[in-house]
Amino acid sequence: MFLPQELIRRKRDGESLGDDAIRFLVDGINNGQLVDSQVAALAMAIYFQDMNVVECAALTCAMRDSGQIINWTDFDLPGPIVDKHSTGGVGDLVSLVLGPIVAACGGYVPMVSGRGLGHTGGTLDKLESIVGYNAYPQQSQFQQVVRDVGIAIVGASGDIAPADQRLYAIRDVTATVDSIPLICASILSKKLAAGINSLVMDIKVGSGAFMTTPERSVQLAERIVAVANQAGCRTSALLTDMNQSLASSCGNALEVMEAMDYLTGNYRHVRLHEVVVALAQMMLMNAQLVDSAEQARKKIADVLATGAAAECFNRMVAALGGPKDLLAQGKSHFAQAPVIAPLLAENCGYISAIDTQQIGMGVVALGGGRIRPGQLIDHRVGLSRWHQIGDLIQANEPIVMIHAADQSSWQKAARRIRHAIQFSEQPVAVPPAVYQTISLEGE
């Protein structure tokens, strides 16, 4: 028989906790036997004393087991169940195109996604800019869409890892959100509850990233890869750049429209494409759908060229309540913001740096994001036609198009964006889109 206060003391003093002790604590978080003060004390003890890989895997699995685990046995999927998770960013529409690509290549992608909070956009908010899209279907419908189409992007139900929901709420008000073992357990418990066989992590680095330094991003990537594999899910990670918007658009409907352009071949942002191909290649290799990186790249190119990936996206949207002719009718399904105008450069120069977090907060200020859970958002607003770091901008040339609900919002966003961009008289180095691959040693 364990005593919560004794286990909290042991972790406070830097001792490792065994599987049974960790499961006892998670059960107590889930069933209310641990009061809020004890959960907060435990989170703070883990924050300062860390957890080793075995402990973190035990925490992850206990949190996964605190709720429903999706079982795919009855659906007899003829391919591997795969997924991707990003630590979030600005203009990060990767999931909208990556999932359909991998599904068209033979993977099955039950992608459980989240909403935006703070400066980062949420995949569900983007998809809900599509009229009729149901981000919270019944589980049977969710699984059937994955079986029939190859992919479904939905929100997590309250039955998935409920212990994490309570723990995260307490972390949020006790300054323990950025604990690496708690981040790992929070992300992976929900992903593993979806019944996946393999996972690829997209860990962002830069001014718009969740982790504040490159070193912390590497630590998080290495820990997630180690813990997920310890828990039985084949996992690798990419470190990708978030020193600027990943796509040329930021904002919910704008990003969906850019994703549609990407899938149909109308327009593919170079940096976005590089990240998408790198992640898709890793997903196909982890899932053993290909024998080599070269074969993976060929399959990716084929499903884009033939329209198979676009068809997967279209079928997913239709199956989850959206228009059946979304790609055929294109942007006519989306309402435009009332005020759309360019922000002009005041002087000639090279874009040398962008405070990407401030750009994301600019979208929030326009009404395209939320500063508190449950806040309504305006899907129409955002930014488009972004220039990139290294681009030479002439005086009075557009830096970006601002889509706003009114002139006042446009002016406020313009001021924020001007302060977030630095210029140089000399050419500057362009940061790479992909920095590093992290996998288990020996792979």
Catalytic residues: 83-86, 123, 171, 186, 190-191
The closest of 58, 61, 65, 66 to 7, measured between CA atoms, is 58
Q: Give the torsion sign (CA, 259, 263, 266, 271).
A: positive
What whole-number distance in Å separates Cα of residue 329 and Cα of residue 75?
33
How many CB atoms within 10 Å of residue 159? 13
Backbone φ, ψ for residue 243 (5° rounding): -90, 0
The closest of 328, 17, 314, 319 to 185, measured between CA atoms, is 17
How many CB atoms within 10 Å of residue 370? 17
Determine contact, residues 349/424, Cβ cutoff 8 Å: yes
* Chain-centre distance for alpha carbon 43: 24
Would you state the structure tokens that stand for residue 285, as one six-digit string? 């290799």
Return all residues near 7 (Cβ < 8 A) that are at least 6 apart: 17, 21, 24, 25, 42
Determine contact, residues 113/122, Cβ cutoff 8 Å: yes
Return all residues near 442 (Cβ < 8 A) that are at least 6 apart: none
What whole-number distance in Å separates Cα of residue 135 and Cα of residue 156?
9
Return all residues near 298 (Cβ < 8 A) that are at least 6 apart: none
What whole-number distance in Å separates Cα of residue 71 and Cα of residue 142?
12
Rounded to 10°, the helix 293-305/94-104 angle is 100
């409907």: which residue's tokens?
253
H-type alpha helices, 231-269: 252-264
What whole-number distance in Å separates Cα of residue 269 and Cα of residue 405?
26
What whole-number distance in Å separates Cα of residue 305 and Cα of residue 157?
35
Would you state the structure tokens that stand for residue 8, as one six-digit string? 């909290």
What does the DSSP 8-state code read for residue 74? G
